[in-house]
Amino acid sequence: MRKRREKDFKSLQSEKTQRYAHRYLVLGTAFILICAIFLVYLGVVMVRGAQIFFPRSSDIIRTETVYGERGRIFDKNGKLLVGNTTNYNLIFEYGSMADKRKDVNLALLECINALKITKTQNYRADDYFPLMGTYPNMSLKNDASDETSNIGYYYQKFLKRTKLDKTTSAKDICERFVKQYKLWQELYSNDEITELIRLYYDMERVDFGFYNHYVIADGLEASSEEAQSLITYVNEKNIEGANFIKQTKRVYPYDTYAAHILGRIGKITAENVSKYKDYPLDALVGTSGCEAAFEQYLRGTDGKKISVYNKSGELIEEYYNPAPIVGKDIYLTIDIDLQIAAEDALKREIERLDDSEAGAATFIDPNNGEILVSASYPTYSQNQFSGIDYYASLASDENMPLLNRAIQGAYAPGSVYKVGAALAALENGDITEDTCYDCQKVYPYFEPNSPTCLGKHGAIDVTEAIEVSCNVFFYYVGHENGLDKITPYTRSLGLGVPTGVELGERIGVVASEEYCLNTSRTWRTIDNATGAIGQSYHLYSPLQLSVYTSTVVNGGSRYSAHFLKEVKDRQGKVIYATEATIAEKVNFSTKTHSTIKNAMSRVISESDTLTRYFANVNATVGGKTGTAQVSTNSTLPDNALFSGFAPYDNPQIVGSCILEAGEAGANASKIVAAVFEEYFIEDVEPTA
C-alpha cells in the first residue's frame, strides 16, 4: 500500500541488535537479558533458517504482512453464498517499526491521533483492557477478576506471564508499563501515557513481535470516507511501522436467506480460544454455522513478504516466509433456489396465519442425505448483523430469530409419527395389513380422560388409518403392545438420534419410561397410547423428521445428513468430497415398505385440500400431516406439521415443515408443495 521510504541504512544496521534486545526485555528476566543476543540468533536460525537473520553484512531486511484470503462458500450449483470484499486493517509491524523506543512511542501516538482525526471507530485496544481512568489514577475494571469474561481471561494470562501477583494494584501495573516502554511523564502527557499503556497491554496480549503484527484498527471499508481519509493521513505522515493490510470482510449476496446455516466470523474470544490455539490472537475465525464447522478448510493464513535491500537501498531479493495461504472454497449441499422457495413460502404462510410467528422446513435427498434446504423463520439480515443495535434487537426478540429451528428446534411430531408406528407394528407382527380396529371416536379406556379421534371411522385398517389419520387405530397399537415396541424402530429411522449434520443440533426426546425416570417426570400407561400418535414426550427436530421420512421411503437406509458437498482449492480442484454414508440400515420387508408408501400417497390423493395444494408439482407426492398439541395449558392453536416425498416411484426429495401454532397440518404442506414445485420445474417440457 505504502511506498517504502528511504532509510538511513547505516544507523539501521547498528540498531538491529538493540531491536532484538527489546523483545527480550519484554520477556523480562535477568538471565535472558544476559543471553539475549545469543538466544535470538540461535532461536531464529533454528526456526526460520539462516538467510533471514544472517544477511550479508551490508544487507537490510524489511518484512511486510501479506493477506491470505478466507475461502468462499457456494451452494451445490456453484452460486456464491458467502464472498469477500476488501476491508483494511491498520496494522503495526515489528519488522518495519522504528528502532528507538521513543520513536516507536511517537509512531503509536501518531496512529491513535490519526484514528481520532479521521473519526475512525474501529479501535480495538478497548475490548480487552482491564484498567479504567487516566494515568496515574487508573483502577481495575470489575471484569478483570472474572476469568470467564474476555477481559478477565486475558488479564489472568497477563499476570501469569509477567509473574505479577493477583493482588497487584492498578498503579503497579501502570508502573510496569511506564518502565518497560519508557513512558516518562516529562516526555508525554498523562493522556498519552494512558493511550500507550492501553496499546502496549494489547500488543503484549496478542504476542506482538517479529511474527505477529498488531492490528490497531480493523474492518475499514475500502469505500468509506473514514477509511479513505485514514489511509491518506497515515501515508502522508509516513508513520514508521504503520501499514495497511487487506482483511476478510464477508458479503452475503442472498442476505436473509440461509442465514442460520452460513453462520458468522468474529474475533477469538475467551470461549473459543482453546479451539484456535495455532491462530494469531487477532485472527477472525468462524464463530457459528458453516463458518465455524468448516473453519479448517475456509481459513486463510497471512504470510510475510521478506525484502532484502543492499546498502545502496536497491531491492536485491524478495520472497515469502511463510507464504500466504488462501482458504479453500466450500460447496454446500444446499440449493439456494429451493432454499429461497422454502423461506418465501414459510414467511408467506406464517404471515397469513393469525397466531403463528415461527416455523422451519428441511429438505433432503433421500438417496444420500444431502440437505437441500434448511430454513428457519424468523430470519435476519446477514449484512446488517454486525450492527450493534441490529444485533441487540435480534437477541431480545421474543420470537428468537437467532435460533436455527430447523436443527435446533424440537417439536412433538404429532401424526407424522404414525408412519413409524405403523411400520414398527407391521414388522413386529403386532398387526398385519388386514388388521382392523374399531374407531368410535372415543378410545374406550382411561376414563374419564379417554383420548379421542377427530373422526368416527368404524372398522379401519392400517392403510386407511394413515390416510385419514385415525388416532384410535394407533391408540390400540401403542396401548396393546407398549410404546417401547415402536420407539426402537422410529429411533432407527432417525427420530431422537443425531442426524450426522455438521452443525450443532438438538437430539430431541424419545418418549419412554426411562426418559421420565431420568427427568423426574411421570410415565403413565396412557403414554403408550398417546405416544403412538406422536404426542406424550416425543420431541424431534425438523431435520430429524426429514431423515426419518427418507429412511422410510428409500427402504431403510438412514443416511447421515450433511451440509458439506465438496471442498475446492482456488484453481477449482476438488480436494475433498463428502461420500454418502449409511448411519444405520433398518430392516423392514418390501411388503411393509409398499404398504406405508401407498398409504402416504393416499394421504394426498384422497384429500381434496392436499391434492389442490400439490396440484402444480410435476411429480406424484406422498406424505403425512400432523398437528401437535404444545401444552394442555396453551391457548394457542396446535403446531402444524407435514413430511412428504416425491416422486412416488423413485423418491428424490423429502421435505418436512413445522409451523408453530400453525393450526392444521395442511398449512405446513404448502411450504413442502412450494419447494417440490420448484424442484420438479425442470422436468416440465416446454410447450411449443
- Would you say 12 or 436 has its CB closer to Zn ion? 436
125 is a contact residue toward Zn ion (CB under 5 A):
no
Contact 645, 614 (CB under 8 A): no
Count of residues near Zn ion by CB under 5 A: 6
> CB 451 → Zn ion: shortest distance, Å?
11
Contact 152, 269 (CB under 8 A): no
- Would you say 83 or 455 has its CB closer to Zn ion? 455
Q: How far is CA 91 from CA 217, 240, 247, in A?
A: 7, 11, 11
x/- map, 281-320, Zn ion, by CB under 5 A: ----------------------------------------
Contact 108, 237 (CB under 8 A): no
Contact 424, 535 (CB under 8 A): no
Q: Looking at 147-155, 431-439, 531-539, 591-599, which segment touches Zn ion (CB under 5 A)?
A: 431-439
x/- map, 447-466, Zn ion, by CB under 5 A: ------x-x-x---------
Q: Which residues does residue 215 pair with via DSSP β-bridges, in sequence order?
A: 91
Contact 661, 355 (CB under 8 A): yes
- Would you say 457 or 485 has its CB closer to Zn ion? 457
DSSP state of 573: -
Per CB under 5 A, the list member of 199, 259, 470, 600 interacting with Zn ion is 470
SS3 140: strand
- Enumerate the H helices of 79-169 as residue ranges: 101-117, 150-162
> CB 602 → Zn ion: shortest distance, Å?
15
- Would you say 290 or 472 has its CB closer to Zn ion? 472
> CB 462 → Zn ion: shortest distance, Å?
12
- Amino acid 390 reads Y
Q: Looking at 161-169, 322-330, 340-348, 434-442, which segment touches Zn ion (CB under 5 A)?
A: 434-442
Q: What are phi and psi of 627, to 5 degrees?
A: -125, 140
Cα gap 565→74, rounded to integer Å: 10
> CB 445 → Zn ion: shortest distance, Å?
15
418 is a contact residue toward Zn ion (CB under 5 A):
no
Cα gap 600→589, rounded to integer Å: 17
> CB 457 → Zn ion: shortest distance, Å?
4
Per CB under 5 A, the list member of 292, 394, 439, 503 interacting with Zn ion is 439
- Amino acid 504 reads G
Q: Looking at 36-44, 119-127, 128-136, 469-477, which segment touches Zn ion (CB under 5 A)?
A: 469-477
76 is a contact residue toward Zn ion (CB under 5 A):
no
Burial of 371 (0-12, 13-18, 19+ CB in 10 A): buried
Cα gap 82→262, rounded to integer Å: 8
> CB 453 → Zn ion: shortest distance, Å?
3
> CB 529 → Zn ion: shortest distance, Å?
13
- Would you say 470 or 659 has its CB closer to Zn ion? 470
Which residues are within 8 A (CB) of 409 and not within 5 positions of it... i.e. 6 or more apart?
360, 376, 403, 506, 541, 542, 658
> CB 290 → Zn ion: shortest distance, Å?
44
How many Cβ atoms from other residues are within 10 Å of residue 600's Cβ?
Answer: 26
Q: Looking at 228-236, 445-453, 500-508, 670-678, which segment touches Zn ion (CB under 5 A)?
A: 445-453
Q: How many CA atoms lie within 13 A of 192 on its CB side?
A: 18
Residues that bind Zn ion (CB under 5 A): 439, 453, 455, 457, 470, 472
